Structure 1
Amino acid sequence: MKKIVCPICSDEGEFSFISKNHYEIYCCKNINCKHYFLPDPQKGQGIHLRNDDLTIESDKNLKEFGDRNKRLLKLFLKKIPRSKKYKFLDFGSGCAHISRTFKTSLKKKAKIYCLEANQKCRKFYPQWDLIPVNNLDAIEEKIDLVYMIEVIEHLKNPRETLLNLKKVMDKNSLLFLSTPPGYNDEKLTNAYDNPTHIHFFTPQSLNNLLTSIGFKKLSFGSFSEMYPLKRKQSIVKEIIYKFKVFVKKTLIKNKGKSIKKKYPFHLVGFTKLDI
């Protein structure tokens, strides 16, 4: 039988469960990693399909997330050094509703690059004054802020991607990451809902990846800016429900003993190069 190796720490992986999308999910046996992953993703499996008319999809997302995006921008601007002209990279930009909001707010004060694996998306970006790039080599300057929002779980080789990302970063550059967490129970996370997800990170595995290639540990946080205000109440209820399920099942496993674990709805945080 072929040995399954964890793509994050290179330790041995073992079968965990069959997901709702009928994928075999494996888990790293290293207790300091516990990364969940698909052992043999196919080419293009992580690419999210888009509406043929990206403007329709982008406009729809703006209606739901426009105000959220403005709050997210305020958060980012508090974290990065003030500049006469910001340089952003939207990594995995998709329909670019986030970058559209940023560009509308900052106008000429921001140059925003959009990198997207789905080639159909790139032709739409210039109409919103966003700069499409095919790869990181096309960017010939250092970026102030890179945001990878719900992207890293789609990457076939996140290690190689983040290594390449370092080319456009310096000691002042900031990287913002978010991803749904991996567990061996699908009820505790929405990570397994999307069939284009390849990796299901734990806090340990994500920081193992980052620190092994020269980034600082992610400073995980709970950011309300990630969620639209009109959905905040329902999201909170969902988090509470999932947390209760998680606690109940863990208590059963621990024969009723109290625990101090918390369920994160997303793994979210900032990091930078460790230099």
Structure 2
Amino acid sequence: MTTLTVAPPARFGDLIAAEWIKLRSLRSTAWTLMLTTVFVVGSAAVAALADVRNLAGGAAGRAWPDGFMPFDAYPPAGYLTLMLVAGSAGALTVVSEYGTGLVRTTTVAVPARGSVVLAKAVVTGVVWTVAGAVISTGSFLVAQAVLDGEGVGVSITHPGVARALVASALLAPVCGVVGVGLGVLIRQSAMTMVTNAFLLLMLPMLFSTSSRWSADVNHVTLFAAWKRLVQNWGDSPDNLEYTATVPGAVAVFVLWPLVAVVLAVLAVRRRDV
């Protein structure tokens, strides 16, 4: 008589280790992180140099009342790129398994598909948190080094800097986890990438903040929330636009990845990862 031995269920720590091995075994992972870091930090240097030229020419530049120039250290162009790359990388951790057929092996080895999704989200979040922290800190230090030449640089303890630094560091993991959720929900590479780009980059541009209803839609996007957390000024009597609140922007940062992961976990209960 043959005795069947049932393998014990995989522990969550084992799933995280497996996802980490998958991620670090790809050469593209290291190259993506390195090139993204260089590009985003470089964009901060370019933005700061542009203001240095303005200041040297006698223009006011973008010197805000308290002296901190947030969009020199954290230029929108650079961080839009970071959002796109992080979101796409997160999505690829899922859709690449469909392309190679590895998803069949994964679901056979780990029937608890929701745990697999959570492990992917955790690994993606941790990797991009580290990368985001390096990029955010590097952007600030490089920009301030350039601005110091005109005497308008500030220290990392200056009011408004800490919130901008943390928000910019967390933008990458938030977008990465959202990408994981989109990958699980859509599963097709092309459509996932298009949806990722639309939600993270294009949607905020479609709605202005000049009217209440349009501003409400704009404020629930990740890019608008990030801009509000980075800027160090609030509403003013002369401002005709509706401005998001800081607590509201924080809520957006929390809810986007949370909703994406919850929907992904619910979806895989009825189908493969």
Fold shared, TM-score > 0.5 on shorter chain: no
So what's the TM-score if we normalise by structure 1?
0.26
Larger radius of gyration: 2
Higher relative contact order structure (alpha carbons within 8 Å, sequence separation ≥ 6): 2
Q: Per residue, is there more helix in 1 or in 2?
A: 2
Relative to the length of structure 2, the TM-score reads 0.26
* Structure having the larger proportion of residues in strand: 1
